[in-house]
């Protein structure tokens, strides 16, 4: 039996040897769907490799020792098995066959993709678990094939096989080698809208460059919604794209900046959207079930690079929320002020624009972060019309019993890895990238779980469970930078002051080289302040232009004329005392015993100063915020969420904190 087969000789019935990805590409090729040519190195080749190198018993023994609930155990097993596979020599007959078919393909660059034999079935979709190597050349072909074999045993893949109950099932891996389409535009599409669950709607997402930028969630693509009957475009959302992934001259791929004038354009014309929509319908009709498709556009032609069943459709529909009209002035309210690194802000935004959509059906369309050159402190501004945060979680909990357990499970899966990194700091760039992956996946379910207790209609059992989760994990909430800062600092001590203002891509780039003089100049400018909007960093001086260009308006907080402020009771009690305003960590030493601690929001580093307070008042926060939980533990009267106590009150003001009623009364001003 041959070890390699071209797409033309493979069908959907060959998933056991070609893997789900390979079988799907073969099936579409035979059906006349425009698929870039290629071949599949069948799972038999991997089995022969394992047999001839005598690795099977060693791999089985290592997997047998895995404790899936212990991330360290999973990672150790992964490291050992991948090292065995990558260090073993590929048999000559397999290597020569792979090279022979590469030459017959007559392609300078190919995509090399893992295709697990248990992959792309509705029961266990392995999407994203295994590896892909784009723009591979003949020089790196064999090496990347071996890496694909090894990717059957990444930490994610090992955890996935245990999670899906496949650890006692024989799983092998095929490798797809496909002529590389140099995508001018690419993206993904769902033949059934995954949010509205409307079988008469499909959605297409597209961006400039290679589709990996969209699949990985690192850019916000354009999105186009089509109705099948009558066949028409019903919605278009155009996003500005500031960067994309493109092929490098020497092979491989990397990020490249896109000028604003180009990046703000609609990626596909109406005619192209309709053409691609018909192609997606054709694929759905051929298979007879809803499909998730990856596509690319090169030299006037669409290509399909992958198709698999949609595995996330729920039983009940969830209505989509109306979007803001483009000609409205979008009012932005200040929601909180925090001390976080730019790395953290970037994770927040990238997760919000992609993964929040998965859990809530929409993302926060307008989110803007402003740093005024005051260290790591930034203010977060959101559209005042983003009401779906208050309604959608409740709706999903009520309509789908599996929603909350799924949310919670995803949270804990990724928290296991992250908490390990909080205890044992990052020591390599590989660990930094893995941390970034888990951080992004974790953020969306974390944000929802932390928000649920503040919603009135959440069932009490769920509310209590979310509060417990918050109490267990909140102390780590501001530690993201501490995880990787020592690692970067040890290698680049000259960048110490820049660490809080580095983006993830900039941190990853340090694996290859130090920053150039021009890069350093650009990064240092951020120390004077910056604006982060739509996954892009701008100088602080560009704020007004950003607001005008995007039709945004920052709404100032209204300072009340009365002598009362109102908030939410976190811990009851009534106290009279003098105000101490704390806005920065370096002011904590000024807090004297018996004073009333007034701040925007507390963090774990504030606890010692909080213990000296007779009462605590915050601008922000909910009943499960750090301030609320800490005050309940310390039994200190506390009112949270007054919105503007730090602006209305001044040091030395005599006030009454009536935490029984959630009211702060000004008794006497320090300076009349």
Q: Cα separation of 194 and 242, whole Å? A: 26
- What local confidence, expressed as pLDDT, does residue 282 receive? 94
Question: Which class for 353: exposed (0-12), middle (13-18), buried (19 or more C-beta within 10 A)?
Answer: buried
Predicted pLDDT of residue 179:
95
CATH superfamily of 4-179: ATP-grasp fold, A domain (3.30.1490.20)
- pLDDT > 90: percent of the chain: 35
Which pLDDT does position 326 carry in this prediction?
42
Task: Output the six-digit token pair for 625.
Answer: 């915020």
pLDDT band for position 168 (cuts 50, 70, 90): low
**Residues 6+ positions from 357 with CB-CB distance below 8 Å:** 195, 363
Q: Which string of DSSP letters, residue by residue, matches 470-527?
A: HHHHGGGTT-HHHHHHHHHHHH-GGGGGGGGG--HHHHHHTTT-PPPHHHHHHHHGGG
* 3.90.25.10, 3.30.70.1230, 1.10.1370.30, 3.30.470.20: CATH of 185-309: 3.30.470.20
Q: Residue 355 has what pLDDT?
A: 67
Quote the pLDDT of residue 239. Answer: 82
pLDDT band of residue 324 (cuts 50, 70, 90) is very low
- In this prediction, residue 463 has a pLDDT band, given cuts at 50, 70 and 90, of confident
- Predicted pLDDT at 400: 83
Instruction: Name the residue with higher pLDDT: 414 or 161.
Output: 414
Q: Where are the domains positioned within the chain?
A: 4-179, 185-309, 330-553, 564-668
User: Is the pLDDT score of 123 beyond 60?
Assistant: no
Averaged pLDDT, 205-210: 92
How large is the average pLDDT for residues 284-300? 90
Averaged over 562-578, what is the pLDDT? 89
- Separation CA 281–CA 189 (nearest Å): 11
3-class DSSP state for residue 62?
helix
Q: What is the pLDDT of residue 558?
A: 59
- CB contact at 8 A, 620 and 600: yes
- Residue 480 has a pLDDT of 63
Give the separation between CA 3 and CA 46, rounded to whole angstroms.
9
Assess whether the region 4-179 and the region 564-668 belong to the same CATH fold: no
The region of weakest confidence among 141-145, 377-381, 609-613 is 377-381
pLDDT at 8 over 60: yes
Report the pLDDT value the prediction gives residue 120, as an integer from 0 to 100: 40
- Segment 532-544, tens digit of pLDDT: 987 789 999 899 8
Q: How far apart are CA 522 and CA 508, in angstroms?
A: 17
How many C-beta neighbours within 10 Å does residue 527 have? 14
- Which residue spans within 372-469 are E strands per DSSP? 377-383
**What whole-number percentage of the chain has pLDDT above 70?**
87
Least confident of 276-285, 556-565, 659-668: 556-565
Q: In whole angstroms, what is the distance from residue 444 CA to residue 209 CA?
A: 26
Contacts within 8 Å (CB) and 24+ apart, 32-35: 33/279, 33/282, 33/283, 33/286, 33/304, 34/279, 34/301, 34/302, 34/303, 34/304, 35/7, 35/303, 35/304, 35/305
What pLDDT is stored for residue 112 in this prediction? 95
214 pLDDT above the threshold of 50 = yes
Residues 356-378 have a mean pLDDT of: 77
Asked if 177 contacts 135 with a C-beta cutoff of 8 angstroms, the reply is: no
Structure tokens at 462: 């769920």
In the three-class reduction of DSSP (H, G, I as helix; E, B as strand; rest coil), residue 221 is classed as coil
pLDDT at 118 exceeding the cut of 90: no
Confidence category of residue 125, pLDDT binned at 50, 70, 90 = very low
Q: What is the residue-averaged pLDDT of the chain? A: 84
CA distances from residue 161 to 22, 24, 150, 403, 501 in whole angstroms, order as listed: 20, 21, 15, 22, 38
Burial grade of 254 (CB within 10 A; 0-12, 13-18, 19 or more): exposed
Nearest one of 372, 336, 394, 420 to 642, comparing CA atoms: 336
Q: Note the pLDDT of residue 475.
A: 58
CATH topology of domain 564-668: Glucose Oxidase; domain 1 (3.50.30)
* Contact assessment for residue 602 and residue 626, using Cβ atoms and an 8 Å cutoff: yes
Residues 663, 638: contact at Cβ < 8 Å? Answer: no
pLDDT digits (tens, 9 = 90+) for 612-643: 999 999 987 665 566 777 787 789 999 988 88
pLDDT at 127: 41
Question: In which residue are the tokens 């278009």 written?
Answer: 236
Confidence band for 64, pLDDT divided at 50, 70 and 90: confident
């Amino acid at each position: 039996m041959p070890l390699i087969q071209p797409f033309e000789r493979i069908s959907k019935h060959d998933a056991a040897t070609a893997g789900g990805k390979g079988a799907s590409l073969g099936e579409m090729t035979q059906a006349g769907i425009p698929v870039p040519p290629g071949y599949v190195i069948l799972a038999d080749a991997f089995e022969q490799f394992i047999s001839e190198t005598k690795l099977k018993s060693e791999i089985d023994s290592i997997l047998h020792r895995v404790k899936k609930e212990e991330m360290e155990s999973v990672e150790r097993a992964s490291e050992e098995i991948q090292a065995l596979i990558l260090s073993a020599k590929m048999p000559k007959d397999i290597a020569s066959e792979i090279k022979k078919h590469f030459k017959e393909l007559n392609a300078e660059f190919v995509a090399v993709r893992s295709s697990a034999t248990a992959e792309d079935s509705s029961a266990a979709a392995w999407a994203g678990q295994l590896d892909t190597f784009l723009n591979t050349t003949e020089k790196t072909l064999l090496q990347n094939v071996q890496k694909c074999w090894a990717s059957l045993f990444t930490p994610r893949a090992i955890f996935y096989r245990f999670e899906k109950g496949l650890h006692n099932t024989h799983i092998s891996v095929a490798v797809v080698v496909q002529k590389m389409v140099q995508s001018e535009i690419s993206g993904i599409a769902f033949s059934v809208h995954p949010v509205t669950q409307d079988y008469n709607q499909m959605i297409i997402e597209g961006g400039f460059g290679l589709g990996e930028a969209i699949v990985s969630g690192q850019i916000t693509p354009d999105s186009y919604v089509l109705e099948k009957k009558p066949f028409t475009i019903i919605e278009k959302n155009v996003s500005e794209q500031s960067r994309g992934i493109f092929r490098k001259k020497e092979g491989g791929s990397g990020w490249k900046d896109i000028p604003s004038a180009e990046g703000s354009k609609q990626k596909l014309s109406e005619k192209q959207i309709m053409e691609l929509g018909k192609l997606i319908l054709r694929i759905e009709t051929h298979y007879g079930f809803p499909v998730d498709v990856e596509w690319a556009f090169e030299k006037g032609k669409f290509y399909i690079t992958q198709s698999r069943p949609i595995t996330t459709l729920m039983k009940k529909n969830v209505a989509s929320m109306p979007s803001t009209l483009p000609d409205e002035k979008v009012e932005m309210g200040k929601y909180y002020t925090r001390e976080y690194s730019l790395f953290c802000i970037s994770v927040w935004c990238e997760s919000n624009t992609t993964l929040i959509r998965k859990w809530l059906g929409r993302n926060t369309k307008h989110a803007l972060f402003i740093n005024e050159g005051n260290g790591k402190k930034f203010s977060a501004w959101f559209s005042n019309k983003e009401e779906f945060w208050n309604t959608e979680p409740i709706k999903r909990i009520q309509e789908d019993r599996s929603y909350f357990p799924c949310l919670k499970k995803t949270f804990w899966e990724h928290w296991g890895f992250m908490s390990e990194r909080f205890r044992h700091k990052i020591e390599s760039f590989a660990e930094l990238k893995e941390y970034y992956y888990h951080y992004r996946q974790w953020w969306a379910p974390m944000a929802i779980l932390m928000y649920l207790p503040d919603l009135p209609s959440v069932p009490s059992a769920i509310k209590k469970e979310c509060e417990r989760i918050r109490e267990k994990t909140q102390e780590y909430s501001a530690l993201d930078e501490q995880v990787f800062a020592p690692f970067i600092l040890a290698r680049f001590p000259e960048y110490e002051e820049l660490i809080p203002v580095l983006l993830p891509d900039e941190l990853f780039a340090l694996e290859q080289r130090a920053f150039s003089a021009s890069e350093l100049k650009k990064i240092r400018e951020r120390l004077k302040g910056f604006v982060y909007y739509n996954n892009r960093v701008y100088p602080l001086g560009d704020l007004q232009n950003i607001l005008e260009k995007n039709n945004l308006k920052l709404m100032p907080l209204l300072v009340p004329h009365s002598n009362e402020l109102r908030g939410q009771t976190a811990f009851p009690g009534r106290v009279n005392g003098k105000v101490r305003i704390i806005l920065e960590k370096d002011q904590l030493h000024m807090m004297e015993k018996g004073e009333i601690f007034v701040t925007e929001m507390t963090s774990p580093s504030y606890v010692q100063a909080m213990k000296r307070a007779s009462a605590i008042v915050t601008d922000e926060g909910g009943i499960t915020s750090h301030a609320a939980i800490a005050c309940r533990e310390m039994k200190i009267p506390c009112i949270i969420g007054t919105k503007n106590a730090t602006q209305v009150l001044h040091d030395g003001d005599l006030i009454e904190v009536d935490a029984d009623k959630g009211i702060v009364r000004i008794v006497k001003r320090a300076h009349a």
